[in-house]
Amino acid sequence: MKKVFSISLILAGFLGFGQIATGTTIPNSRWTFGGGLGLGFGSNSSFNLQVAPRVGYKITDQLEGGLLGNVSWQTSDYYKSTMFGIGPFVNYYFARSFFAGASLQQYFINSQDKFDGYKYRTDETALYLGGGYMQPLGNNAFAQFGIMYNVLWKEQSSIFSTAFIPSVGFVVGL
């Protein structure tokens, strides 16, 4: 239930923020801007806040490359953690409503157990491949909904619980 609630909050935040950004397009510019925000609450006083900006450049009308970043703060009764990620992405757009994409992300994770103070630091590389659907919001703004698969994910050693992640965000300038 908490996953459904968290996903609903994330979607509402993305769509609301995307509506605000529709009047900020830059005419005849090849630059694109966007990203997403995430907010989650759960049991054991858990809280999660994520900020994920992106900037891209339209190489052609269908091909875009750029840089993604993300910061995630998590806390609960038992632990607290911070995760930073950065890396390049490429998206190919077709039929003006769909996209296929790839993203290489390097994550840096700091976590601390609240009971015994044990600190854990690690990093992980993820190569996401996937695609999805784009919903026009007006002018050159779009909401993007998709799914990505981390081809480098290893069940026994990854910090992530699954190789699949939802891809929800917005972009202005396409």
**pLDDT (tens digit per residue) in 46-99:** 899 999 999 999 999 999 999 999 999 999 999 899 999 999 999 999 998 999
Per-residue pLDDT tens digits for 45-61: 889 999 999 999 999 99
pLDDT at 121: 96
Counted domains in the chain: 1
Q: Degrees (nearest 5) of the Cα angle 108, 113, 115?
A: 170
CATH number at residue 125: 2.40.160.20
Main-chain phi, psi angles of 147, to 5 degrees? -135, 140
Tell me which residue range forms the domain holding 152.
Answer: 2-172
Q: In angstroms, rounded to a whole number, what is the distance separating the alpha carbons of residues 112 and 118?
A: 6
